[in-house]
Each structure stands twice: as C-alpha cells, then as structure tokens.
Amino acid sequence: MSLDYVKFSPGFDKFMPKEYKDMVEHGPFGKKTTVSQMGSFKEILEEHPMCAGCAMTLFIRLAMISFPNPEDTITVGTAGCGRLAISQAAIPFVYGNYGDQNGVASGLSRGLRLRFGDKPKDVVVMAGDGGMADIGFSCTLHSWFRKEKFTTIMLDNEVYGNTGGQESGMTNKGAVLKMAPLGKKFEKMDMLAMAKSAGCAYVATVVPNNPRRVEAVIKKAVLIAREIGPTYIQAYTSCNIEYAIPTDKVMEDAKNVEGDRYQFTEYVTDEAKQFLAERYGYKEFLPKPAPAVTKA
Amino acid sequence: MYLVADINVDICAQTSCKLCTQFCPEANTILYNDQAGRDKGYKYGAAYVAVDRCKGCAQCVWVCDNMAKHNAIKMIMIDQLPNAAITDNIVYGEKSTTAVLAGPAVG
Ligand SMILES: Cc1ncc(C[n+]2csc(CCOP(=O)(O)OP(=O)(O)O)c2C)c(N)n1
Ligand code: SF4
Ligand code: SF4
Ligand code: SF4
C-alpha cells in the first residue's frame, strides 16, 4: 500500500502486459490527476464485462479517477453488477458475502489505522442498492451508528440488476420490473435521511452526467472519512437493461432524473466543513468574514 | 460485424472540447491526440477511439450531438473503418497520446 506496489519488480518489466506498463508509467499514482485530464493518462480501471452503455460503469470510472490518493485506497464491494468493474482496477478490492461490505470495511479501516497510524489509507465501499439498503441494511446502518471512518457509495440503479430485475427497497413506488410485474407497492427508502440521523458527517446525491461534480463529491467524502466520521454518497446509476433505456439515451435519462427526483444535494456537518477548510484549503467552507459594522 | 464510434478529426479539431471522453463508460477508450488536428492545420488536437475497447453504446454520439453540439461522432461498422486505433498501438506521453493507426481493424 504505497507507490512501491505499482512499480515493476526488477527484471520483470519486459514480461508485463502493455496496459500494465502504461499504468505504471502514465497512470495516476502519485499524481493529482483530474476528470478534466481524462483521455490523456492511463486510468486504473481496465476492461470489464459490464453492459455496454451502463451508467454505473461510467460512475465507477469517474470514481476511480476521483480518489484523492489511489495508491492508498482499498475498495470494498459485494455481489451485484458494480463488482464486475470495481474488481478490474489496479487498486486492491475486497469482496465479501452479499451485504456484509460495511462490516468488512469497518474491520479493514480499523486495522489499517492500527497498522499505519495517522498515514491516511482510504477505504471506499461501492455496492448496489439491493446489497446496501436491503440485504446489507443492518451492516450499513450499524457502521454509521458506530461512526466508522470510511466512505459508503450506493450505486443506485433502483433494481437488482445482476439477477434480472427484482425490486429493491430503493425502487420507486409503482415501478414495474421483470420480476416485479405487479409494480412496487412501497415508497423508495429514504437512505439519505437515515444516513444523516445515524451520524454521517457528509451525505450527498449525484448523477454521473456531471463528471466534475462526481469528482468533487467523492473527494470531499473520502477526505472527511479520514478523520471526522462516516460519509455516504448515493449515486443514480441507471440500469439500461432492466429499465429498457436505449444506450444512446442513458445520459438523457440521467439528466431528466436529475431534474426530477435525483437533484444534487449535499449535507456537510460543521465539523466536516471546518476540517475541509483548515486541512485541505476548501475555500467554500472557510469561515465568512464578519460583516463590516456600519455606524448608524 | 458490429458498430464502433468513429470521430471526424476535421470537425473535432475545430474545438476539441474533450467532453465525450468524460461520458464514455469505458476507461481509456476515447483518447486525445494533441497533434492530430494541428497536423492538418487546425488550432487544436482531436479525440479518437480505441476501437478494441469500444462497446458500441453510442453515448458519445449523444454527448457530441446534444451537449457539445458538434456532431463529430458517427457509429460505423468496424470492418468499414479505413484505419483504426487499437490499444496495442497507443503511446502515452506526458499530456497527450498518439496512436499509430493500423489497417482495417477486422479484415
Ligand atoms: C447471500 C446471497 N444472496 C443472493 C445472491 C444473489 N445475488 C447476486 S447479485 C444480486 C443482486 C444485486 O442487486 P444490487 O445489490 O441492487 O446490485 P446491482 O446488480 O443492481 O448493481 C443477488 C441477489 C448472492 N450472491 N448472495
Ligand atoms: S444489468 Fe444493468 S446495472 Fe448491470 S451492468 Fe447491465 S446495465 Fe449495468
Ligand atoms: S465531444 Fe465531439 S467535438 Fe468534443 S472532443 Fe468529443 S468528438 Fe470532439
Ligand atoms: S460508443 Fe460507447 S463505448 Fe464506444 S466510444 Fe462511444 S461512449 Fe465509448
């Protein structure tokens, strides 16, 4: 877990595949690469079997670029579509049983703190809505109640995509799916409110059709989780297969959904704001100068 | 045969807005060559597609048509491409990439 692990072992460089060499020589490790440089450097995400045009794929691609220190980041995931790509990146990925990702991440993040002390090692969970809000619900909530310091990202495609279209707690009321032919009878779960009341220091919603915003949100969430407390990002990452969205209309759908029920929201506790301002120079959170006193 | 994205250098190099790669779901698939347009007398470089990584979703077409409003990308049958960039022939530089274009990708 350092820049050393992405170097060639002496004598082995000539046997490494081109993609690996490109990644070592022109990857983001040890540099501050950003979304605006996309297309000019080798990304840590490689080829993977997720569906063509999937918005979740795009979100994962953006997330991998947005990690503040990819060489010091471990991702944790679970069953579901996202792991098919998250596992194909040049950073460690931990895969547990379905739904236990926030339990695994709790142990991992505590262990890393014991081993490396104050040197930040970032743990980021990325899992589907089914894995997080249904099957892994108690692991998720309890990690927040315990104030475990890592980032949780829900890849919310509002369905169990990987198993053919069952409804999840995050599916919208009334939605008809292949394996929910009568339509969902209950409201979408309000995980954002639960995250806030369970004590998350940062809670945000994003849609991948705004890459720079995705980048900003992920950076803040990961930095805050280093010292202040749990952070939660809920990303709309449509399933074009189960919701029958033509692939060339996936971004149009994201734009419409963002304008409707997935507007950008960001909640930051005062402690987290102060931390970002003082430690990482976030101007937006610097204390405002006191208003000038005008004489009556 | 199957469709892949193909970028028209003459249109793209007039602005090289770099929007499409930020929306392509696949990593390192739409890349930039800072020289591609300049070699043809335009002000900017241009984007190009590593066709072996393209899954043919056409999301980049929507982005170039509707967000950038440049209409520089078309979907084309892979065996109809006169030449194509593939990952093995792409060289990364400090701030840009270059591709040695090969003959028809599928012959
Ligand atoms: C304990 C257990 N139960 C069921 C499954 C089968 N399974 C694999 S993926 C999945 C659904 C994933 O849905 P979600 O978490 O919403 O992620 P998505 O695929 O939609 O991204 C299920 C039920 C499993 N792997 N393990
Ligand atoms: S099934 Fe849906 S969520 Fe899964 S990879 Fe395909 S489009 Fe994406
Ligand atoms: S969006 Fe269109 S004009 Fe802009 S870089 Fe891509 S191909 Fe070129
Ligand atoms: S068609 Fe899809 S995969 Fe291919 S370059 Fe365009 S956005 Fe990327």
The per-residue pLDDT for range A171-228, each reduced to its tens digit, is 999 999 999 999 999 999 999 999 999 999 999 999 999 999 999 999 999 999 999 9
Kindly determine whether residue A19 and residue B21, on different chains, have CB atoms separated by under 8 Å: no
The residue among B64 and A1 whose pLDDT is bigger is: B64
Question: What does the pLDDT average to over A19-30?
Answer: 92
pLDDT for residue B75: 98
A242 lines ligand 2 (CB under 6 A): yes
The residue among A288 and A266 whose pLDDT is bigger is: A266
Angle at A30 between CA B28 and CA B95, to 5 degrees: 45
Kindly determine whether residue A250 and residue B59, on different chains, have CB atoms separated by under 8 Å: yes
Q: What percent of chain A is modeled with pLDDT above 70? A: 98
CATH of domain B3-83: 3.30.70
Looking at chain A from residue 208 to 237, which residues have their Cβ under 8 Å from any Cβ of chain B? 209, 211
Residue A148 above 60 pLDDT?
yes
| Average per-residue pLDDT for chain A | 95
A157: which DSSP letter? -
Under a CB-based contact definition with an 8 Å cutoff, are residues A53 and B57 in contact?
Answer: yes
Residue that has been written with the tokens 């066709």 in this structure: B51
pLDDT for residue A124: 98
d(CA B18, ligand 3 centre) in Å: 6
pLDDT category of residue A32 using cuts at 50, 70 and 90: confident
Kindly determine whether residue B61 and residue A61, on different chains, have CB atoms separated by under 8 Å: no
By CB atoms closer than 10 A (0-12, 13-18, 19+), residue A283 is: exposed
| B22 close to A (CB below 8 A) | yes
Contacts for A4 with CB less than 8 Å, ≥ 6 apart: none
> In chain A, which residues have their Cβ closer than 8 Å to the Cβ of B27?
43, 45-47, 61, 64
Task: Starting from the CA of residue A55, give the closest ligand.
Answer: 2
Chain A residue with the nearest C-alpha to that of B59: A248
| A41 close to B (CB below 8 A) | yes
Q: Please tell me whether residue A29 adopts helix, strand or coil conformation.
A: coil
| A31 close to B (CB below 8 A) | no
> In chain A, which residues have their Cβ closer than 8 Å to the Cβ of B18?
36, 38-39
pLDDT tens-place string over residues A222-250? 999 999 999 999 999 999 999 999 999 99
Please report the atom of ligand 4 found closest to the CA of residue B3. 1
Contacts for B37 with CB less than 8 Å, ≥ 6 apart: B9, B12, B13, B14, B16, B43, B44, B45, B46
| A20 close to B (CB below 8 A) | no
The helix or strand, by DSSP H or E, that contains position A63, with its residue range, turns out to be: helix A55-66
In chain B, where the domains are located: 3-83
By CB atoms closer than 10 A (0-12, 13-18, 19+), residue A15 is: exposed
Alpha-carbon distance of B83 to A43, in angstroms, equals 24
The residue among A91 and A8 whose pLDDT is bigger is: A91
| Average per-residue pLDDT for chain B | 92
**Phi, then psi, of B90 in degrees rounded to 5:** -100, 130
| B5 close to A (CB below 8 A) | no
CATH of domain A46-285: 3.40.50.970
Residue A94 above 50 pLDDT?
yes
pLDDT for residue A1: 56
The residue among B36 and B24 whose pLDDT is bigger is: B24
Residue of A20, A40, A253 best to disrupt the B interface, most CBs of B under 10 A = A40
Alpha-carbon distance of A252 to A229, in angstroms, equals 35
The helix or strand, by DSSP H or E, that contains position B33, with its residue range, turns out to be: strand B30-33
Q: Pairing mode, if any, of strands B3-7 and B73-77?
A: antiparallel
The residue contributing the CA closest to ligand 4 atom 2 is B57
pLDDT for residue A2: 67
pLDDT category of residue B106 using cuts at 50, 70 and 90: low
d(CA A256, ligand 4 centre) in Å: 21
Residue A252 above 50 pLDDT?
yes
pLDDT for residue A9: 86
Kindly determine whether residue B26 and residue A61, on different chains, have CB atoms separated by under 8 Å: yes
> What is the complex's ipTM, to 2 decimals?
0.95
pLDDT for residue B105: 52
Q: What percent of chain B is modeled with pLDDT above 90? A: 80
| B71 close to A (CB below 8 A) | no
pLDDT category of residue B8 using cuts at 50, 70 and 90: very high
Residue B107 above 60 pLDDT?
no
pLDDT for residue A290: 80
Q: Please tell me whether residue A221 adopts helix, strand or coil conformation.
A: helix
